[in-house]
Structure 1
Amino acid sequence: MNYLAHLFLSPDDPELLLGSLIADFTRGRLETLARDWSPGVMRGIALHRQVDRFTDDHPRVIRARRRIAAPYRRYSGIILDILFDHFLSRYWAEFTRRDRGEFIRDVYRLLEQRREQLPARLHALVPRMRREDWLGSYRELEVVGLVFERMATRLRQPNELGGALVEVRRHYPELAEDFRYFFPELIEFVQRQQEQTDRQ
C-alpha cells in the first residue's frame, strides 16, 4: 500500500492520519517509537504495519505479484504499491461516498498545519508532495510510469523498474480485478482491527 491507500484506510482522526504517513518514515519497535509520538500517532503507525502485513500475505496480492514477469518481478512489491494507489483513485466511488478531491485537500491541509511535528524527511517532502499532487496525480497511468522512472533512479543497483509500465499495461485488467477483489477485504480487516482497539 502507498500513501493514498494508507490515508484512506486510516480512521478520520488527525493523529491517526498522521501516523499512517509517519510510519513510512520511522523504523524500530513500537515500544521504542512510543517515546517520541502521541498515542494517536502510534495507533496510526501500528495500523499501517498491520495493513502492510495483511496486504503482503493476501492470496490475491500474491497472485498479482506473480503476474509481473522478469525482469520486473523483483520490484513487484514497489510496482503494486504504486499501482494500488492508482486503482484506488480510479475506483474510489466503489469504496466511499466521500469526494476524493476534498479528502486529498484535507490531507494536504493537515500536513501543512502539523508540518513542524513530522519526521525530518517527511517534513522536507510536504511542499513537493503538495506541489506535484502525489496523492491525486496517480490516477493517471502515465504519471504512474513517471513514478516508476523516478524510483528507479533512487535504487542503488542498475534496474529495470523505470520500464515497468509496459508490464503493467500487459496485465492491467487482471491487476485491476485483483485490486477490486482484495481491497474490500482489506477495508473489512481494518474495521475489525479498529473495533478491537476501541474495545480495549
Structure 2
Amino acid sequence: MNYLAHLFLASEEPDERLGSLIADFTRGRLQTLAKDYPPGVMWGIALHRQVDRFTDDNPWVVQSRLRIAAPYRRYSGIILDILYDHFLSSYWSEFSGQDRQSFIQDIYRLLDRRRNDLPARLRALAPRMQREDWLGSYAEFEVIGQVYQRMSQRMRQPNRLAGAMEEVRRHYPELAQDFRQFFPELIVFVQQQERRNRP
C-alpha cells in the first residue's frame, strides 16, 4: 500500500492519520518510537505496519504479483504499491462517501498544520508532495509510468522497473479486478484491528 491508501485506511483522528504517513519514514521497534510520538501517532504507525503485513500475505495480492512477468516480478511490491493508489483513486466512490479531492486537501492541510511534528525527511518532502499533488495525481494512468521511471533512476543497482508499465498495461483489467476483491478484505481487516487492538 502507498500513501493514499494508508491515509484512507486511518481514522479521521489527526494523530492517527499522521502516524499512517509517518510510518514510511520511521524504522525500529514500536516501543522505541513511542518515546518520540504520542499514542495516536503510534497507533497510526502500528496500523500501517499491520496493513503492510496483511497486504503482503493476501491471496489477491499474491495473484497480482504472479501476473507480472518474471523479469519485473522482483519489483512487484513497488509496482503494486503505486498501482493500488491509482486503483483506489479510480474506484474511490466504491469505498468512500467523501469526495476524493476534499479528502486529499484535508490531508495537505493537516501536513501544513503539523509540519513541526513530522520526521525531518517527511517534513522536507511534504511541500513537494503537495506541489506535485502526489495523492491526487496517481489517478492519471500515465503518471504511474512516470513514477516508475523516477523510482528506477533513484535505485542504486541497474534495474528494469522503468519498463514495468508495459506489464501493467498488459494485465490492467485483471490487476484492477484483483484490487477490487482485495481492498474490501483489507477494510474489514482494519476494522477488526480497530475493535481488537485500539489502545
Range into which the TM-score falls when normalised by the shorter chain: over 0.9
What is aligned with 2:175?
175
What is aligned with 1:40?
40
Letter in 1 for 2:189: F
Q: Where in structure 2 are the equivalents of 1:47-62 lying within 5 Å?
A: 47-62=47-62
Once the 2 structures are TM-superposed, how far is the Cα of residue 28 of structure 1 from its aligned partner? 0.4
Once the 2 structures are TM-superposed, how far is the Cα of residue 47 of structure 1 from its aligned partner? 0.2
Q: What does the per-residue CA deviation read over 1:45-74, in whole Å, with 9 as the maximum and x for residues that have no partner? A: 000000000000001100100111032111
User: Equivalents in 2 of 1:43, 1:5: separation in Å?
Assistant: 16
User: Equivalents in 2 of 1:196, 1:138: separation in Å?
Assistant: 33
Does residue 22 in structure 1 map to residue 41 in structure 2? no
Once the 2 structures are TM-superposed, how far is the Cα of residue 14 of structure 1 from its aligned partner? 0.2
TM-score scaled by length of structure 2: 0.99
What is aligned with 1:7?
7
- After the TM superposition, list the runs of 4 or more consecutive aligned residues in structure 1 that deviate by more than 2 angstroms: none
Q: Which runs of 5+ in 1 are unaligned?
A: none
Once the 2 structures are TM-superposed, how far is the Cα of residue 196 of structure 1 from its aligned partner? 1.2
Length, aligned pairs only? 199
What is aligned with 1:185?
185
Q: Where in structure 2 are the equivalents of 1:91-130 lying within 5 Å?
A: 91-130=91-130
User: Equivalents in 1 of 2:123, 2:71: separation in Å?
Assistant: 34
Once the 2 structures are TM-superposed, how far is the Cα of residue 197 of structure 1 from its aligned partner? 2.7
Once the 2 structures are TM-superposed, how far is the Cα of residue 181 of structure 1 from its aligned partner? 0.1
What is aligned with 1:159?
159
Q: Which runs of 5+ in 2 are unaligned?
A: none
TM-score scaled by length of structure 1: 0.98
User: Equivalents in 2 of 1:12, 1:172: separation in Å?
Assistant: 31
